[in-house]
Amino acid sequence: MARIIAVANQKGGVGKTTTAVNLAAGLARAPKRVLLIDLDPQGNATMGSGVDKRELSASITEVLLGEVPIEQAIVRTAEDFDLLPGNIDLTAAEIRLMNEDGREQRLKRALGGIAGRYDFVLIDCPPALSLLTLNALTAADSVIVPMQCEYYALEGLSALIDTIEAIRGQLNPGLEIEGVLRTMFDVRNNLANAVSAELINHFGERVFRTIIPRNVRLAEAPSHGQSIVGYDRASRGGIAYLGLAGEVIRRQREREQAAPARATTE
Q: Under the rule (CB under 6 A), what is the footprint of ligand ADP?
A: 12-18, 44, 127, 183-184, 212, 214-215, 218-219, 222, 237
Nearest to 170 by CA among 162, 179, 178: 162
DSSP state of 74: -
Instruction: Decide if residue 252 touches Mg ion (CB under 5 A).
Output: no
Phi and psi at 179, nearest 5°, equal 175, 155
DSSP state of 55: G
Q: Which does 219 bind (CB under 5 to 8 A by kind): ligand ADP, Mg ion, none?
A: ligand ADP
232 to each of 42, 72, 127, how far by Cα in Å? 24, 31, 27
Instruction: Decide if residue 19 touches Mg ion (CB under 5 A).
Output: no
CB of 100 to ligand ADP, least distance (A): 27
Q: Name which of residues 37 to 56 contact Mg ion (CB under 5 A).
A: 44
CB of 17 to ligand ADP, least distance (A): 3
Strand 142-148, strand 34-38: pairing: unpaired
Ranges of beta strands (E only) in 140-206 are 142-148, 176-185
CB of 122 to Mg ion, least distance (A): 12
83 vs 115 by CB, closer to ligand ADP: 83
SS3 of residue 212 by DSSP: strand
Strand 176-185, strand 142-148: pairing: parallel
Q: Name which of residues 66 to 125 contact Mg ion (CB under 5 A).
A: none
Instruction: Decide if residue 16 touches Mg ion (CB under 5 A).
Output: yes
CB of 185 to ligand ADP, least distance (A): 7
225 vs 252 by CB, closer to Mg ion: 225
Neighbours of 120 (CB within 10 A): 24
Instruction: Decide if residue 148 touches Mg ion (CB under 5 A).
Output: no
234, burial (CB in 10 Å: exposed 0-12, middle 13-18, buried 19+)? exposed
Q: Site for Mg ion (CB under 5 A): how many residues?
A: 3
Q: Which does 135 bind (CB under 5 to 8 A by kind): Mg ion, ligand ADP, none?
A: none
- Which residues contact Mg ion (rule: CB under 5 A)? 16-17, 44
